[in-house]
Structure 1
Amino acid sequence: MTRYLLSVQPFTGHVNPVLAVAAELVARDHDVRVYTGQAFAAAVTASGARLVPWREAPDFDEHDLPATFPRLRGKKGMRQVLVNVVDVFIATAPAQARDLAAEYARQPWDVIAGDEMSLGAAFFAQREGTIWATICIIPLNLAGAQGPPGGLGLAPGTNPLTRTRDALLRAAVPVLSGPISGALRRARAEAGVAPSRAGLDHQAFSPHLAVAAGCRLLDYGRTDRPASLRFVGALSRPSTAPFDPPPWWGELDGPLPVVHVTQGTQNIDPDDLLRPAMEALAGEPVLVVATTGIRGRDELPFPVPANVRVAGFLPHAHLLPKIETMVTNGGWGGTLGALSRGIPLVVAGGDLDKPEVAARVAWSGAGVNLKTGTPTAMQVRTAVRRVRADPSYRAAAQRVAAQLEAAGGAGAAASALETLA
């Protein structure tokens, strides 16, 4: 038996894939603790692991970040990304490291692994000089010698002009990362970690092992990835929770193809994507299933077309087998879930890592990148019609599905962590 501590930022999209790894390790008779927010206590327990809650680190509600991080109020786009990185991920890292130090003193572990935004785990391991691992649960933002910097939603250049663009953008990262670099220096000092001139795109990733959700077809086929990186496909686990379907569930087995529209669990203003998508598909010969992103919020603050059914949350294990096409804001977990089933996508990625997801899906050929998080109804309608009419999108999605399945999922991630131990 090996003792594992898995650290994960308390966001649904981060916690779920890490818990898939935790459950696999538990099934192999290892002792597993998960350090995350109290809101996920029941989910951690259901995985078979034990919760270590954020104590000194400021636990927060992912649906109301400004309540804990007031600088986020009113921010969107790149300004939101910057404040998220500095306030939510970097500034909380010293307190995370203190929580982890207290837990280690109470009961040591053999291996610590954190998602790429759990800098507290990285700081703790670096300060103590121990081996650690990264569980990458968002599109891989690991700096390399190829392509543009991650997060910009740009595919790597394919000609002298665009390759020069990529090189210039890579060179500009240290200049443009002033606020992030300063916050990192302060956080490392507060956590008692030796100074480092490396950027966030290096400090957040373990040099020993990084297991990454996704596959090479969703990583632009890059060849500059380190030997310590292993793609493991989609990190998910079978749902054991009882499913109480909505009254209209049987309609999904009717004659109309089903289009799923989701805005994820963050930045869930329905006017951004749900409303224009519903308007776009109102006259189409499809049944639309829209999810609001919050359990129990099964209605929208505006009338919906007759061919639309609304729910707060629907387990993908039950929903995706019934879906023909998906319109999404580009959440990585939902995107991988759909592509794992060969479902082509229309992606409206507006902020955080979503533009990067949209660009990767488009590069793979498995969907259309709307290049905005607030598309018009006409943009959505045109894209959905294009994806449904052109079989190349479904064929590409099926190629991605095959690669994701071959990568091994949570089992492969657990095996890699066992090897590290």
Structure 2
Amino acid sequence: MAINEGNPGGNFHREEAATNGEAGHRRRLPLLVMSACPLAGHTLPALHVARELVKKGFEVIFMTATEFRGEQQREKIPVGPPRLMFDIEALFLPSIPVRTANLRSLLELVRERDPARDVVVVTETVSLGVFAFKYGAPLPGGYDAFPKTIGLNVVPLPASSVDTAPFGSGLPPDATEAGRARNQALNAGLREGPFQHLVAVQERILTDMGCTRMPERALFDAWLESFDTMFQLCSPSMEYPRSDLHSSIRYAGALPKKGINPNFEYPSWWSEIRSNAALPAGSLGKKHVIPVAQGTLATTYEELIMPTITALAKRDDVIVIAVLGVKGASLPADFEVPANTKVADYLPYDVALEHADLFVSNGGYGSMTHGVINAVPMVVAGITEDKVEVTARAEYAGLAVNLKTQTPSSEQIAAAVDKVLGNPKYKEKAVRLMKENRDLDCHAIIEREIMLYSKAK
């Protein structure tokens, strides 16, 4: 059986049954119940993991949900910590009861279908369906104990530490005596300030759900540590060092490339990219290929894509690939696209970065990890949602120049591009990070952990 995507009502897609040999093997493997926060940047990495596990012979049920709807009020909240607080209170915390109920129903359905089947729950961190069960919420029917759980964290690690400032501040780590004093003061200020209200909201929700105890750890720490094992999907060099990291949190490495669909239709101009890639390095006429993207949610192209095109418009040694991120999207009709720029409404990152020399991004975590697995250095500019932390980590890892703004000028972008292309240390670091993540072998690490928690081992 392949991935089942649906809701707990039972409308799951099924494929033809496996052969007898395969079926016998799968009976020895645990059934995997998976879910993710209903945002593309959270769901797609979890689906990537699920598909690889199916290839390894696991049966996977993947629970989906309706994507968060736009909040008009959200756009009025200043970017940075205030908007992060809003997202937690208005989007993530209210989702806990329904996600918990859906997961309970699905697990009960699984138990009714096969009472003896071993089950392991694998979910993306902020899907939050597992959270309440770890604090005493009534178990699903048919279970004496909640199944073993594995978390997948696909955003910068928000674990608090004596060595780091609070998540959302964008400040670099500092483990010196003075730095730890700074971190202690800032973390305490957050706990006793904005987060005090959020913790109270969370506790009311958990109490209403019948939980028998409350988290003693800080908000994000409680979420992360609610799993038996939490995998951060990057290598250690892409994160801040923490001397007090919880023992359940481990690094699995970035997800490898999914591979390009053999039926993918390349843009008509792609032959120019291939011809350029075939030229020897340093040869006359070879150009730098520079994709620029804002992800799938940020479609105000005036923020980054258009300034990047303008910044590089007069360079005859560059090909810009502007990836708009949404099928059918286009740049404003009155914006003049220069001859050195190719525009694609939608282009998978692994295609866009296949022959890239530099990647200009607004700091999504997925874009950063794709830059790493393709060994492409970056210029990053983004401070919304978790992007202030993504861009800070890209800079800390030596992968990128961080412009530290949501709306960089063309002059800032041009200078940053020159800095990355003119200094080989950025490319060298990108290659080193690519190898580090490849050697970890993310899929193998996750599979081994599943089997550790399985009676089938």
Q: Name the residue aligned to 2:385.
A: 352
Unaligned 5+ runs, structure 1? 38-58
CA contact (8 A) 1:20 1:410 kept: no
Residue 61 of structure 2 is aligned to residue 28 of structure 1:
no
Residue 237 of structure 2 is aligned to residue 217 of structure 1:
yes
Q: Give 1:143 shift.
A: 2.1
Residue 89 of structure 2 is aligned to residue 100 of structure 1:
no
Residue 322 of structure 2 is aligned to residue 294 of structure 1:
no
Q: Please tell me the residue identity of whatever aligns with 1:102.
A: S
Q: Which residues of 2 match residues 179-194 of structure 1 at below 5 A?
A: 179-194=197-212
Deviates more, 1:196-205 or 1:122-131: 122-131
SS in 2 for 1:211: strand
SS in 2 for 1:327: strand
Q: Give 1:214 shift.
A: 0.8
TM-score of the aligned structures, taking structure 1 as reference length: 0.88
Counterpart-to-counterpart distance in 2, 1:339 and 1:220: 16
CA contact (8 A) 2:350 2:374 kept: no
Change (3 A) 1:198 1:70: farther
SS in 2 for 1:214: coil
Counterpart-to-counterpart distance in 1, 2:134 and 2:150: 9
Residue 419 of structure 2 is aligned to residue 400 of structure 1:
no
Q: Name the residue aligned to 1:208.
A: 228
Q: Name the residue aligned to 1:313.
A: 346
Q: Name the residue aligned to 1:270.
A: 301
Residue 160 of structure 2 is aligned to residue 156 of structure 1:
no
Counterpart-to-counterpart distance in 2, 1:243 and 1:235: 21
CA contact (8 A) 2:162 2:242 kept: no
Q: Name the residue aligned to 2:424.
A: 391
Change (3 A) 1:355 1:316: same
Residue 313 of structure 2 is aligned to residue 282 of structure 1:
yes
Q: Which of 144, 147, 157 is matched with 1:140 structurally?
A: 157
Q: Name the residue aligned to 1:238.
A: 259
Counterpart-to-counterpart distance in 1, 2:453 and 2:219: 23
Q: Give 1:357 shift.
A: 1.1
Q: Name the residue aligned to 2:34.
A: 6
Q: Give 1:161 shift.
A: 3.1
Deviates more, 1:364-373 or 1:116-125: 116-125
Q: Name the residue aligned to 1:367.
A: 400
Q: Give 1:86 shift.
A: 1.6
Q: Name the residue aligned to 1:229.
A: 249
Q: Please tell me the residue identity of whatever aligns with 2:325.
A: G
Q: Give 1:76 shift.
A: 4.4
Q: Please tell me the residue identity of whatever aligns with 1:212.
A: Q
Q: Give 1:293 shift.
A: 1.7
CA contact (8 A) 1:21 1:414 kept: no
Q: Which residues of 2 match residues 45-84 of structure 1 at below 5 A?
A: 59-60=66-67, 65-66=69-70, 69-78=71-80, 79-84=82-87
Q: Give 1:337 shift.
A: 1.1
Deviates more, 1:215-224 or 1:93-102: 215-224
CA contact (8 A) 1:114 1:122 kept: no
Q: Which of 171, 186, 192 is matched with 1:169 structurally?
A: 186
SS in 2 for 1:134: strand
Counterpart-to-counterpart distance in 2, 1:394 and 1:218: 15
Q: Please tell me the residue identity of whatever aligns with 1:246.
A: P
Q: Which residues of 2 match residues 116-135 of structure 1 at below 5 A?
A: 116-126=125-135, 127=137, 128=139, 130=146, 131-135=148-152
Q: Give 1:157 shift.
A: 1.4
Q: Please tell me the residue identity of whatever aligns with 2:187.
A: R
Deviates more, 1:364-373 or 1:118-127: 118-127
Q: Please tell me the residue identity of whatever aligns with 1:261.
A: V
Q: Give 1:418 shift.
A: 2.4
Counterpart-to-counterpart distance in 1, 2:339 and 2:87: 38
Unaligned 5+ runs, structure 2? 1-28, 112-117, 140-144, 277-285
SS in 1 for 2:353: helix
CA contact (8 A) 1:358 1:371 kept: yes
Q: Give 1:382 shift.
A: 0.6
Counterpart-to-counterpart distance in 2, 1:348 and 1:214: 20
Counterpart-to-counterpart distance in 1, 2:318 and 2:380: 18
Change (3 A) 1:418 1:20: farther
Counterpart-to-counterpart distance in 1, 2:374 and 2:244: 28
CA contact (8 A) 2:159 2:220 kept: yes
Change (3 A) 1:162 1:146: closer
Q: Give 1:343 shift.
A: 0.9
Q: Give 1:156 shift.
A: 0.9
Counterpart-to-counterpart distance in 2, 1:17 and 1:117: 13
Q: Which of 67, 91, 97 is matched with 1:88 structurally?
A: 91
Q: Name the residue aligned to 2:283.
A: none
Counterpart-to-counterpart distance in 2, 1:275 and 1:215: 32
Q: Please tell me the residue identity of whatever aligns with 1:297.
A: A
Counterpart-to-counterpart distance in 2, 1:303 and 1:175: 51
TM-score of the aligned structures, taking structure 2 as reference length: 0.81
Q: What is the percent sequence identity of the aligned residues?
A: 27
Greater Rg, structure 1 or structure 2?
A: 2
For these two proteins, the number of residue pairs brought into alignment is 395
SS in 2 for 1:107: helix
Counterpart-to-counterpart distance in 1, 2:326 and 2:318: 24
RMSD, aligned CA: 2.0
Counterpart-to-counterpart distance in 1, 2:374 and 2:298: 26
Counterpart-to-counterpart distance in 2, 1:80 and 1:170: 18
Q: Give 1:288 shift.
A: 0.5
